[in-house]
Structure 1
Amino acid sequence: MVVVDPDFVRLMRRLRQEHGMSFRDLAKKAYFSRSYLCEVENGKKPPSLHLAKALDVCLNAEGQLTRLVTAGPDDQEREFPFRSAASGDCPDRDVEAWLTRSTWPAQLGGSTPVSASQWAQVATMLYDVFVRSRPPLLRLGPDRYANPSQRERNLTPFAAEATMQGRTPRVECRAVSRQQAPSDVAALLSLDLGDTVVLRENRYLVDGQPVQLGHTYLPTSVVGTSTLATELNLGPGGTFAALERLGYRTARIREQVTTRFPTRDEAEALKLPPGVPVIVLLHASYDNDGFPFEATRYILRSDAMAVQYVAQVAA
């Protein structure tokens, strides 16, 4: 049985108003639905101990709300570690660790059943991510490679489509190395298993927020010792402009789209909240002779991006 002090509702309302936060603002920060928070503050639903702890962090209440909620032995929840020995008494750092999913696999895969309120939190968070209206950045499919104006302005396909949608793009090349091509990439590039390729690892941001990762694989026979194989910064136009300077212009593409949950490294790089899957888009570029000269595995945030294709249908 959960026992809630009547002062909980009054304190929650006062703290929320003092911070100038709407229910929508608080829902985004605490990862509970706006309607549920509204019902709790209006006394229509009781708060869980987990909600009290989340609100303490979001409203800088220093444990005041948690002390007003008492759970009996049968109602103790297996809590997420908002405070831990590793992070001391800094709740913000602990919340950041929770948001990057680092603790979720252990929590959901443990021997103790996950509480109903935790599953409810996951459900409300997924509703907020996938149902609530949020304008995604559209990835424009084949059109992004066939836009002459982007060549004139020396824009990458990502920069061109983001700018067209009123967003501010930025691309970070995080590493350039030589690696063995993964089997699916080797097949796309008509390489033998074990062949070496140049791997360029990029992170793509719009309005300062990471929305996409890209691992670009380039045959060594294509890039040789050019800047594509040695430099992080390729200058205006990025990878595709550098490939065109080597004589490789995209005439045809092949793309395969799947979905899955992110790895821990992907979740951290994209700053994903728990429970959000990613879109995996495996792309290959071909020249006019059908030669595959580039393959990229894109990892897209499913809550921030959408893939759009428009194709002519023959009569």
Structure 2
Amino acid sequence: MVVVDPDFVRLMRRLRQEHGMSFRDLAKKAYFSRSYLCEVENGKKPPSLHLAKALDACLNAEGQLTRLVNTGPDDQEPESRSRSAATVDCPDRDVEAWRMRSTWSAQAGRTAPVSASQWAQVATMLYDVFVRSRPPLMRLGPVRYANSSVRQQHLTPFAVEATMQGRAPRVECRAVSRQQPPSDVAALLSLDLGDAVVLRENRYLADGEPVQLGHTYLPTCVVGTSTLATELDLSSGGTFAALERLGYRTARIREQVTTRFPTRGEAETLNLPPGVPVIVLLHASYDSDGFPFEATRYIMRSDAMAVQYVAKVAA
């Protein structure tokens, strides 16, 4: 839960005006969207702790804004907020949801089981009400690895792009193991047959909702016995900050995007509704010498995420 002092809005406006910054100027410097900053300053959206820290840095506020934002445990708030937004945006569908729930409850008291088609109707209705009405979280392609906030504020690329879009990010590392990589990953990393890697299995959440999985493969010659090979919690900056501390900085990336239907395990871990495919993005990072030091297979919910690429076209 985020608790914001009412003085935050007034202080943010005063500092921005004192520095002669427009919302466009501040957005470029803080790496948050202009519309999100405008909504925060006008009191339409609460600021996140990440935003407060970024504004303190951009506006030379020496922590004044950060001190006005307090966080506390409240795991139910993101879901409740999402459901409330869906209720406001989709009143007719909520009436239909109530009507269907009443019919379903009445049938539950009978001896006849609910048919498969009725289960499908309920699933479709819930999906329409709580998922379709929300915009997807945009994965910003190569830009996410060049964003200065990743290094200056010790944030992960996912945390930066989620926060820029007004979402609360969270990453859970669910397992760290040592094993042989799949053949396509071994080829990306230029590994010999039988070479082992460290596998880090992450789940990424936005506003408490799981939106993607990430299986990161790291050559043992890169991570050795560092925390990347032994610890679930990597503290600030995540995997890429830990790799940079070992001397591996991303200079070039290679990404391949495909789609398919999820496995049962993926569907359960991502809380996917029936019939929703996933976006599979196979990523590899290279240093300035062209050495591939990391590969990640991202499994993204196609109903909750989208991928955006912007590239220059040679004349």
Q: Secondary structure at the match of 2:142?
A: helix
Which residue in the other structure is 1:305 paired with?
A: 305
Q: Which residue of 1 aligns with 2:163?
A: 163
**Does the CA-based 8 Å contact 2:212-2:270 persist in structure 1?**
yes
Structure (1/2) with the larger helix percentage: 2
Larger Rg over CA atoms: 1
Identity %: 78
- How far off is 1:154 after superposition? 0.2
Structure 1 unmatched ranges of 5 or more: 1-19, 31-36, 42-50, 71-75, 81-114
In structure 1, the partner of 2:229 is 229
CA deviations on 1:91-124 (whole Å, 9 max, x unpaired) are xxxxxxxxxxxxxxxxxxxxxxxx6x788x4996
Instruction: Tell me if 1:24 matches 2:61.
Output: no
Aligned to 1:176: 176
Do 1:150 and 1:160's aligned partners in 2 also have CA atoms closer than 8 Å?
Answer: yes
For these two proteins, the number of residue pairs brought into alignment is 227
Could you tell me which runs of 5 or more consecutive residues in structure 2 were left unpaired when the two chains were aligned.
1-87
Cα deviation 1:208-249 (Å, max 9, x = unaligned): 111010000000000000000000001100000000000000
Residues 312 and 126 of structure 1: is their aligned pair in 2 closer, same or farther, counting only changes over 3 Å? farther
Counterparts of 1:184 and 1:193 in 2: how far apart (Å)? 12
Whichever residue aligns with residue 233 of structure 1, its letter is D
2:286/2:293 contact within 8 Å kept:
yes
Bigger mean CA offset, 240-249 vs 184-193: 184-193
What secondary structure does 1:163 align onto? helix
**Contact 1:122–1:275 (8 Å) recurs in 2:** no
Offset, 1:314: 1.2
Offset, 1:135 = 0.7
Q: CA offsets per residue over residues 287-313 of structure 1, 9 Å max, x none?
A: 001100000000101111110000011
Q: 2:115 aligns with which of 73, 79, 83?
A: 79
1:247 matches 2:247: yes
Within-5 A mapping of 1:58-73: 61=105, 64=106
CA–CA separation in structure 2 for the residues paired with 1:290 and 1:26: 57
Judge which range, 131-140 or 250-259, deviates more: 131-140
Q: 1:122 to 1:283 in 2, by over 3 A?
A: farther
Contact 2:123 2:273 in 1 (8 A): no
Contact 2:168–2:207 (8 Å) recurs in 1:
yes
Q: Report the alpha carbon displacement of residue 193 of structure 1 after superposing the two structures with TM.
A: 2.8
Contact 2:281 2:299 in 1 (8 A): yes
Structure-2 change in CA distance of 1:214 and 1:55 (3 Å):
farther
Deviation at 1:132, TM superposition (A): 4.8
Q: Which has the higher mean CA deviation after the structures are superposed, 251-260 or 188-197? A: 188-197
Task: Report the TM-score, using the length of structure 2 for normalisation.
Answer: 0.65
Instruction: Tell me which residue corresponds to 1:284.
Output: 284
| Aligned residue identity for 1:228 | L
Once residues 201 and 274 of structure 2 are traced to their aligned partners in structure 1, the CA distance between those partners, rounded to angstroms, is 24
Q: Name the counterpart of 1:152.
A: 152
Tell me how large the CA RMSD over aligned residues is.
3.1
CA distance in 2, matches of 1:152, 1:217: 25
Is the 2:282–2:298 Cα contact (8 Å) retained in structure 1? Answer: yes
Alpha-carbon distance in 2 for matches of 1:160, 1:127 = 27
SS at match of 1:141: coil
* Paired residues of 1:181 and 1:193 also in contact (CA < 8 A): no
Which amino acid in 2 is paired with 1:264? R
Q: Please say if residues 126 and 276 of structure 1, whose CA atoms lie closer than 8 Å, have aligned partners that are also in contact.
A: no
